[in-house]
Amino acid sequence: MSSFETKGVVIKTQDFKENDKLVWIFTEKIGKITAIAKGAKKSRSKYLSVTLPLCFADYMLFRGKNLYTLSEGKINNSFQGLLGNLEKLTYSSYLCELIDICLVDEESNRGLFKDFVTCLYLLNTDAIDYELLVRAFELKILKATGYALKLDNCVLCNSRMNTGSYISISSFGGVCEKCEKEHGVYISKGAYNALRFLNSLDMDKMYRVNITPEIKEEISKVTSLIFSSNYSKKPKSLEMLDYIKER
């Protein structure tokens, strides 16, 4: 067995046998992995705090035959503040679910890892529109998994587009006025421009963005259509998000 250290965030956990826990960690070095934390369910276990959902830590892991084994964890930020607020909890659970659903095991993606951690830090402050933050992360994860939205040129004829009013869901991008519109959705020019802006924005510049509720709604329609047509599993926390928004 070989051991190594990596930064990571716990995205999911499950009790395993009598005393152990299975922990899904999105790691910086090797992407999403499953690790066993032996004895983590015991009340005095040293793994108790580092195996809580959303914990961001430096983990020491052993690579076994089928699973990784957690041997050590040093917390950078436990993000437990996110767990105590229903809205923040729902948004952060949704981010974790997206990672779980969209990423292939053991495929490193340092850029996305950085965006994810930035996203958790921003959620943890009150300086930012959570919904917009989640939309921006959705666009990042689409990009990271090969479904980047193309909005500067028509996805069908490649002509330059200053703005647009139609997004093709099957071709992942804008369709110009001249091309045929199918398998997509009409949106306002404002939403098109906002989508393009978010699509190219760095996660740590998010605090500068201000977008109307109507446009946010349109953007959400586009991203959720793309997710539901490309990934077989649907995030459960989405329903909770809709419920929160309706209130």
Q: Which residues bind Zn ion (CB under 5 A)?
A: 154, 156-157, 176, 179
| 113: phi then psi, degrees, rounded to nearest 5 | -60, -45
Shortest CB 185 distance to Zn ion, Å: 16
Q: Tokens 């991008």 identify what position?
A: 173
Sign of CA dihedral 154, 157, 161, 167: negative
Shortest CB 183 distance to Zn ion, Å: 14
What are the beta bridge partners of residue 105? Answer: 32
Amino acid identity at 15: D
Q: Tokens 């892991």 identify what position?
A: 61
Q: Of 30 and 195, which has the nearer Cβ to Zn ion?
A: 195
Taking CA atoms, 46 is separated from 9, 17, 37, 54, in Å, by 17, 18, 10, 17
Q: Of 37 and 176, which has the nearer Cβ to Zn ion?
A: 176
Q: Of 21 and 196, which has the nearer Cβ to Zn ion?
A: 196
Shortest CB 171 distance to Zn ion, Å: 10
Q: Of 83 and 179, which has the nearer Cβ to Zn ion?
A: 179
Token couple for 15: 């009790």
Shortest CB 194 distance to Zn ion, Å: 21
Which regions of the chain does DSSP assign to beta strands (E)? Answer: 2-16, 20-27, 31-37, 56-63, 68-77, 166-168, 173-174, 184-186
Shortest CB 229 distance to Zn ion, Å: 21
Shortest CB 138 distance to Zn ion, Å: 25
Strand 173-174 with 56-63, pairing = unpaired
Q: Of 61 and 176, which has the nearer Cβ to Zn ion?
A: 176
Shortest CB 159 distance to Zn ion, Å: 5
For every residue of 151-211, DSSP letters joined together read: -SB-TTT--B-SS-SEEETTTTEE--SSS---SEEE--HHHHHHHHHHHH--GGGGGG---
Question: Helices 86-102 and 110-124, interaxial angle, to 10°?
Answer: 170
